[in-house]
Structure 1
């Protein structure tokens, strides 16, 4: 006799709405951007509505469930949807295919937030990631290289995570987190250790944790800035959620020691590599990318303590601290990248204009006064722009050893280009300053301050050595965050382009102010318990 499995459609409503948004956007033509923003906003609202009610669970196998709609999971689902809305708002020309891919990726994030087993989690994480293979690629050699790099690295990490999940299934006989928490007790230790190492290693790629970080600086530099915003926020949030769910719900009770060793190694390596590399960066996006690797280490630190004996006394506090830090971090990153997007010139439009002008036999207008680095006959040497009459090729050259290509310059300008931004574009400059000071962990950007406090408060009572490393990393971070903030606030530079996307930048700025003034809002919805 066939028994049908009951499905709680109310629990899946945010996912349904996100998937429907993707389908509508594909056929909406010029209305695709508006449809995407409206549809995902409604999906976020539905997630919040479900989250404030009683917990819902669906796709049951006995007492285990594959999808769970709780306060924390629905809050994260709403955050995935709203971050995608922000990226759509920052996209100047969002065609139907572009919006379809964004909405499909958001659907993956929403599914990931509620996942209750390894298969659902990995499939959701791939749904979040696969559309980005196309979205990170922009016209030109550099864009193609970024897309191929991200594709190859992501496929390798996904295969690694799947192999780890297969080994854990072989050891326990289940893929449900609740089942792993009990069934791994009598499993073969070597099989469990190998499965844990492979699974966490594959998932750590999504968070850009060292030594699985090499893709992040290159891809973030060469991707269009709105997609770099998505990679630095929603995509990294996906990696943080995946690791937190696996460790807290599945591995910590019975596979703590192997998971703790792997996570501690990833955390320390990320903090060291990210901070040291960020110190020598002279390009804005590169600095944010490398510092983001250090922040991945901060996210993993309480999970490392949780998985070992040191943090077993307060598992809820450990997981909540990691999740809260991840939410604070991705919102601050989204604010920084949104502000950069607002003041960078629209390179694709300018390139098309220059091409059309050249075809008519006229010389394009110089673009240097507008802050564009893709203008012809320019030479960039260690952050200094100068005229180069010797160069007849219309592409700029970077003598400092960085990647070449005019399509790169709009996304990865030098830090010196932001000099005096506060005078010429006060709104995006203010949002950028709030984000950068917040990432450093200093007031008055209290969101970052509370994020650091949450992490250190837990580690101080469970793993003092990790607390010392996190504190040292935060101090090193001041050496590159504060000069960046000073350049924006006090520097004197050439006039910048007129700021765009005013509403989107203002909204993310207000969000950063709100979570700084009321951090308990984030702490409340990231509080999780079994």
Structure 2
């Protein structure tokens, strides 16, 4: 029997991330330096692959389980970069802490290139399982956050796995490309599998009504881990949903997938904005608004329920992926700057009063991120994210475009209130840490604001 050929070059970013995790576990005090160097090398390898031709490995016929194309390698580099940023704002941590972060990053890199249901679900779990430990800081509230996150994740994983099993039964394939056969399979089985799989992955994205765990866990987790949950972990959920829809369901079950995702999108926008309006704590506001942003991200995919949406499924996936990348960069910037001025938690919004005067560097990055999340210039990363979604929705599902615009307008109320507090409020915030990390986050936001094509090019799935 002939052995399967493996393209080791395509797997290089994953090899480096896995090796980083193994070395960091035994590196002692040098663990953070090992994580930074190893994941930086992994990100550089991903960018090298992005600059070259598409590579793929683990083939069954013409289908591959691991594809190192432009989108996958751009996302792999982003996962590595976000993890390095979180490590940088974590301060002095144990080797086990760095090991768990590196394992999670390896899961994200695998997820970015995964093209079958088994690889995808295993990668999602590899990304998520280390966070069960990391969110549970010492104390009662930390234990509650850890248990809540554990139970929600187990429920979502079981739901997604059941959906994947039903889709396999209906199509006879675990490869995403093989799910096109759902059009010829049992319609009830396909619809049930689609709803369960997307519902399970919706937990990871914290899309309403599957969102209840997110505000509690983010508020009670250590701030650096809250930053990771709001950026890298949420990016993982978004990528999983987009890959399943774009590479698998759009052809064979586009209408069913569109209906499920449209419901999730509208519910997320409504629930997220209403929850954020009532918040008086900074992390709580960011957590609830993140639920609304999950809705904006899912809106283009929800338009697949309309005929016009199914005619350009690649455009919907591209718009959703671009939004996801812009959003997680803004979230990472907001949490990194917040971590630089807060010790244990985000505190009340009023506590950030006077931040502009006491910590101008962190305040600048925080304001850019907040204004970007509102979708306003001069933080053009958020503006381009909204435009990418609305431009596509305008030609496919105008009613969803109206919902997105209405949600964005409501979001101005709490984002501008937060920005006003930072600029004009009175407070005594004076802690300033992690200057290089905050500067790096600000530089990344400036780069994608001034040159959005850096994101739009590798997130285009239409080519």
Interval of TM-score (by shorter of Structure 1 and Structure 2) = over 0.9
Superposed counterparts of 1:256-267, under 5 Å: 256-267=254-265
Q: Is the 8 A contact 2:257 2:304 kept in 1?
A: no
Q: Is the 8 A contact 1:167 1:191 kept in 2?
A: yes
Please give the secondary structure, in 1, of the residue aligned with 2:153. Answer: helix
Please give the secondary structure, in 2, of the residue aligned with 1:163. Answer: helix
Superposed counterparts of 1:47-62, under 5 Å: 47-62=46-61
What is the CA-CA distance between 1:92 and the residue it aligns to?
1.1
Match of 2:144 in 1: 145
Match of 1:131 in 2: 130
Match of 2:423 in 1: 489
Match of 2:308 in 1: 310
Match of 2:407 in 1: 473
Q: TM-score normalised to the size of structure 1? A: 0.87
d(CA) in 2 for partners of 1:244, 1:460: 20
Match of 1:422 in 2: 356
Match of 1:239 in 2: 237
What is the CA-CA distance between 1:497 and the residue it aligns to?
3.2
Q: Is the 8 A contact 1:251 1:307 kept in 2?
A: no
Q: Is the 8 A contact 1:222 1:412 kept in 2?
A: no
Match of 2:164 in 1: 165
User: Structure 2: any 5+ residue segments left out of the alignment?
Assistant: none
Please give the secondary structure, in 1, of the residue aligned with 2:396. Answer: coil
d(CA) in 1 for partners of 2:183, 2:275: 41
d(CA) in 2 for partners of 1:222, 1:102: 18
What is the CA-CA distance between 1:160 and the residue it aligns to?
0.2
* Residues 462-517 of structure 1: per-residue CA shift (max 9 Å, x gap): 00000000000000000100010000011122x21321000000010011011111
d(CA) in 1 for partners of 2:405, 2:18: 42
What is the CA-CA distance between 1:412 and the residue it aligns to?
3.5
Q: Which structure shows the higher helix fraction?
A: 2
What's the C-alpha RMSD, in Å, of the aligned pairs?
Answer: 0.8
Q: Is the 8 A contact 2:308 2:396 kept in 1?
A: yes
Match of 2:443 in 1: 510
Match of 2:219 in 1: 221
Please give the secondary structure, in 2, of the residue aligned with 1:209. Answer: coil
d(CA) in 1 for partners of 2:320, 2:306: 15
d(CA) in 1 for partners of 2:461, 2:244: 13
* Residues 251-285 of structure 1: per-residue CA shift (max 9 Å, x gap): 01110111111000000000000001100100000
Q: TM-score normalised to the size of structure 2? A: 0.99
d(CA) in 1 for partners of 2:120, 2:264: 21
What is the CA-CA distance between 1:307 and the residue it aligns to?
5.0
Q: Which stretch of the first structure deviates more once superposed, 314-323 or 131-140?
A: 314-323
After TM superposition, which residue ranges in structure 1, 4 or more long, deviate above 3 angstroms? none
Match of 1:402 in 2: none
d(CA) in 1 for partners of 2:93, 2:37: 14
* Residues 110-153 of structure 1: per-residue CA shift (max 9 Å, x gap): 00000010000000000000000000010000000000000000
Please give the secondary structure, in 2, of the residue aligned with 1:312. Answer: helix
Q: State yes or no: 1:33 paired with 2:22.
A: no
Please give the secondary structure, in 1, of the residue aligned with 2:231. Answer: helix
Q: Is the 8 A contact 1:247 1:307 kept in 2?
A: no
- The partner residue of 1:450 within 355, 373, 384 is 384
d(CA) in 1 for partners of 2:462, 2:23: 37
d(CA) in 2 for partners of 1:311, 1:115: 25
* Residues 173-224 of structure 1: per-residue CA shift (max 9 Å, x gap): 111011112x112110000000000000000111100000001000000000
Q: Is the 8 A contact 1:311 1:318 kept in 2?
A: yes
d(CA) in 2 for partners of 1:13, 1:445: 34
d(CA) in 2 for partners of 1:314, 1:46: 32
d(CA) in 1 for partners of 2:283, 2:109: 27
Superposed counterparts of 1:99-110, under 5 Å: 99-110=98-109
What is the CA-CA distance between 1:41 and the residue it aligns to?
0.3
| Count, aligned residues | 463
Q: Is the 8 A contact 1:80 1:110 kept in 2?
A: yes
What is the CA-CA distance between 1:94 and the residue it aligns to?
1.8
What is the CA-CA distance between 1:528 and the residue it aligns to?
1.3
* Residues 220-261 of structure 1: per-residue CA shift (max 9 Å, x gap): 000000000000000000000000000011001110111111
d(CA) in 2 for partners of 1:430, 1:488: 9
The structure number with the bigger radius of gyration is 1
Match of 2:188 in 1: 190
Superposed counterparts of 1:34-433, under 5 Å: 34-181=33-180, 183-345=181-343, 410-433=344-367
What is the CA-CA distance between 1:310 and the residue it aligns to?
2.6
Q: State yes or no: 1:525 paired with 2:458.
A: yes
d(CA) in 1 for partners of 2:76, 2:185: 34
What is the CA-CA distance between 1:5 and the residue it aligns to?
1.1
